[in-house]
Amino acid sequence: MLNKYARAFFTRVLTPFAAFLLRRGVSPDAVTLIGTAGVMAGALVFFPRGEFFWGTIVITLFVFSDLVDGNMARQAGISSRWGAFLDSTLDRVADGAIFGGFALWYAGKGDDNVLCAVAIFCLASGQVVSYTKARGESIGLPVAVNGLIERAERLVISLVAAGLSGLHAFGVPGVQVLLPIALWIVAVGSAVTLGQRVVTVRRESAEADAAARGSEATT
């Protein structure tokens, strides 16, 4: 849901910036690579040290590259399969860095093995949720389902909670509980979304196989 409406809104907002970068000779692929590097730096430098506020600020500044690069490609008329592949692949890398950063904190100074495991589950389930759609589409199925928590929801929930939790370092009391709550929400929501996609692929594949058998029977 967030991915559908928020992407459309921010695409319109970022269109002038994308045009500015094109005029300066910046390529969409360069934006994709720089954006991913920025997200990884924010997640793996700040989060393992518990600096969630500043880590979230850095990540937020770079995460919009996911919208800017595609906007640039469309404006320049150079959209390609390679660009789509690179963007999708590096999205997985960025997501892994974010939840990996959370896991490193809880495995270290955060000292909470349960939350470390939850963060790792969020990392793994997010990758598998994306894989199920890609794999289903690769075998010719539409995978027509809007999951409960997809990539946009995972990022918004976890990063907003991390940023607010980071305010604890500035003396705001009680906010540090927000990140654990968010991780549990993302973990449960990702598991539900995975189930939704698996059920959808099973139904669509059964329908496709039945249609194929019916077509063979009439020939």
Residue numbers in the known binding site for a CDP-1,2-diacyl-sn-glycerol are 29-32, 70, 74, 80
Residues 6+ apart with CB under 8 A from 219: none
DSSP state for residue 148 in the 8-state scheme: S
Q: Report the C-alpha gap between 69 and 91 in whole angstroms.
A: 12
- Known binding residues for Mg(2+): 66, 69, 87, 91
- Known binding residues: 29-32, 66, 69-70, 74, 80, 87, 91
> Which residue has 């918004």 as its token pair?
156
Q: Report the C-alpha gap between 131 and 156 in whole angstroms.
A: 20
Q: Report the C-alpha gap between 142 and 1 in whole angstroms.
A: 18
Alpha-carbon Rg for the chain, nearest whole angstrom, is: 20
Q: Report the C-alpha gap between 100 and 37 in whole angstroms.
A: 15
> Which residue has 């430098």 as its token pair?
45
User: Tokens for 175?
Assistant: 């906010």
111 a catalytic residue:
no
Give the residue ranges of DSSP H helices in the chain. 2-23, 28-41, 52-63, 65-76, 81-107, 113-138, 151-165, 178-217
Residues that are catalytic: 91
